[in-house]
């Protein structure tokens, strides 16, 4: 299965609670933090919900 690298590039401060929970679900807690995930439909859906706060790279 494909993997993706997700980096938080914008802050979650002053965002709706749903977007903050999405960042937490991805394992992102700080700016410029990077995590890797399998590219499952569930993960891609979460990434799509907060794509304006993230940088996504395919591995």
- The edge-to-edge listing of strands for the beta sheet with 54-58 is 34-38, 3-8, 54-58
- For 59, the token pair is 């591995």
- Answer whether 37's CB lies under 8 Å from 4's CB: yes
Alpha helices in the chain (DSSP H): 17-25, 41-49
17 vs 38: CA distance, rounded Å: 24
Count of domains observed in the chain = 1
Give residue-wise pLDDT tens across range 2-51.
999 999 999 999 999 999 999 999 999 999 999 999 999 999 999 999 99
- Indicate the pTM of the whole model: 0.91
DSSP state of 3: E
Show the domain range for 28: 3-58
CATH number, domain with residue 47: 3.30.1390.20
């Amino acid at each position: 299965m494909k993997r993706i690298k997700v980096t938080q590039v914008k802050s979650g401060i002053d965002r709706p609670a749903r977007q903050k929970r999405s960042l937490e679900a991805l394992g992102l807690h700080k700016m410029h933090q990077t995590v890797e995930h399998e590219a499952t439909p569930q993960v891609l859906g979460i990434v799509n919900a907060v794509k304006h706060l993230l940088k996504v790279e395919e591995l």
